[in-house]
Structure formats: structure tokens, C-alpha cells
Structure 1
Amino acid sequence: MPGALPPRAPGQPAGSPASARPLERGAPRPALAAWAPRPPADGAPVPRCRARDETRREEERHVRALARIVALACVEAELGLRPARQLSAWLDLPTYGKMVRRADLAGRTRPDRGAAGAPQALGARCCAAAEGVYEASATVRLPDRVRAVALRIERRRERWKVTALELG
């Protein structure tokens, strides 16, 4: 009969291959090959790389959010809608000094404080420049125009600080 199974040996359970033998009592079990994950197909990331990539994406999301918040706060400080001293938590000392001076000069030339309207952050982008260093850009909409802000954000003592800032 074509396709028929080979005959079973006496005492062999049904469904097992004909070459399999039942283990005798007290006989050592055959050694099994050590299990290892199958190597990924070409182009598939290794799990450690995926974890590192996910950490990097999370870090970039955090930096983008920080860039958007700081850009909006700096424009508000320059317009006189926010005290410049509130920027000290985000900016390093030289950048903070530059921003305070800029807000002070803008306040002297602008007689109508707060008349410009509330600015709105439109979005931000970031790019890793080095380990723990990002360069970011953000856009802020005012009632009469849109402003661009460029930032350099560095990790210092487990905190992100803006180390360079340019308002356009």
C-alpha cells in the first residue's frame, strides 16, 4: 500500500517514528543540544538594537518636547509675557545671560507690553549631534508672523540643558 507507515516495533507507542526506542528505567537521557535563538533574517534588527533604538526614540521625543517648550518660553520672555528668570531651569548660564539681556532690550524698545497676543508653538525637530547632544529647531506662531528658534541641547548631570539658542 503506497504511503503506508513502516511497521512499529513491539512496545512502541503509536505515532512515534519507527527508529525511536523507549527509554529503559535508569538509563541516562540523551543530551539535548543547547537552545539558541535563531539568527535574524537579513536586515532584521537584533533585539538589543531594537531596545537601543527604542531608547533613542524616547530620548528624541523628550528632546523635541523640551525644544518646543523652551522655544515658546523664550519668545514669550522676549515679548514681555513671561519673566526671563523662569528660563533659568532650562538654559545654561551663558545662554541664560544672553536671553535675559535680549528680553531686557526688547522690553525697552516695546512700550506696549503683552499687546502682541499669545504665541503658539507649532512644532519642533531634533537631530543627534553626538552622544547626549542634540540640535533642535522649533517654530512659534505669533499673530503677525512665525518665528524660528534653533537650540543646542546637552545632557548635563542627568538633566537636559539648552547650551545655545538663536531666535529668528
Structure 2
Amino acid sequence: MSAITRGTIQAAMEVLAGIRPVHQLARRLDPRCLANLQHRAALIRREFVRTGNPALARLHRNSTVRSVRVCEVADGIFEASAVVVDDVRARAVAVRLERAKQVWRVTELVIG
């Protein structure tokens, strides 16, 4: 479960950095999480274009998932937290994974 969480978070950070298309996470994230991630990435891009702030260009760049902690809260439901470090700062990420039809899907994704 830790590997799934780590890979999903890494991919989400790459979406926010603008180096991975969001549709690559469509099978891993539920539709609401996918839409929220897409919206956040669009806001970052739009703000960078509007202001040209170089700090926004570095935001989420070179993200590395440093640690992952996973806890089973019920049958087929896991919650995880992770620490992600990028060029600008360290941040916390929280994830909830649920098993549906033999596939693990992220139903909650909160990136600090």
C-alpha cells in the first residue's frame, strides 16, 4: 500500500509542477479528486502567467516523497500521510485509499 501511495503522490506533485498530464491519474483518483487536482494545477499556471512570479515557476518542482505512513482504518480502506519536499518547501500530504472492484482508488487527496 505504501508503494501505491508513494507513486500516486509523486504523480500528483508532477501534475502540479506541470510536467505530467492530469489524465494519467484518472484510473487512480476518483473523479472529484481528479477535478480538484486539475483545478489546483490550473490556478498555479494561471497565477504564474498573470504575475510572472519566479517562485511560482519553482513551486512543486523536483518534488520528492520523503516518507509515507499508512494505516488501515477499515476493511478495504487505508489512510496515509506523506512528507514531500520540493525546491521551495516541505509539505504534508494526506490520502485516503479505498478498494472498489479489485482496484485501489484515492478518494481523498489533501496537499498542504
TM over 0.5: yes
Aligned to 2:81: 137
Give unpaired runs (5+ residues) of structure 2.
none
Aligned to 2:38: 100
For the pair shown, the structure with the greater C-alpha radius of gyration is 1
Q: By percentage of residues, which structure has more strand?
A: 2
| C-alpha displacement of 1:128 | 0.7
SS across alignment from 1:105: helix
Give the TM-score taking structure 2 as reference length.
0.85
- Identity percentage of aligned residues: 36
SS across alignment from 1:110: helix
Query: Are 2:8 and 1:64 equivalent residues in the alignment?
Result: no
Code of the residue aligned with 2:96 in structure 1: it is R
Give the TM-score taking structure 1 as reference length.
0.58
Mapped partners of 2:40, 2:75: distance in 1: 30
Code of the residue aligned with 2:68 in structure 1: it is A
Mapped partners of 1:137, 1:81: distance in 2: 23
Within-5 A mapping of 1:1-168: 63-111=1-49, 115-116=57-58, 117-168=61-112
* Alignment coverage as a number of residue pairs: 106
Mapped partners of 1:71, 1:139: distance in 2: 10
Mapped partners of 1:66, 1:146: distance in 2: 21
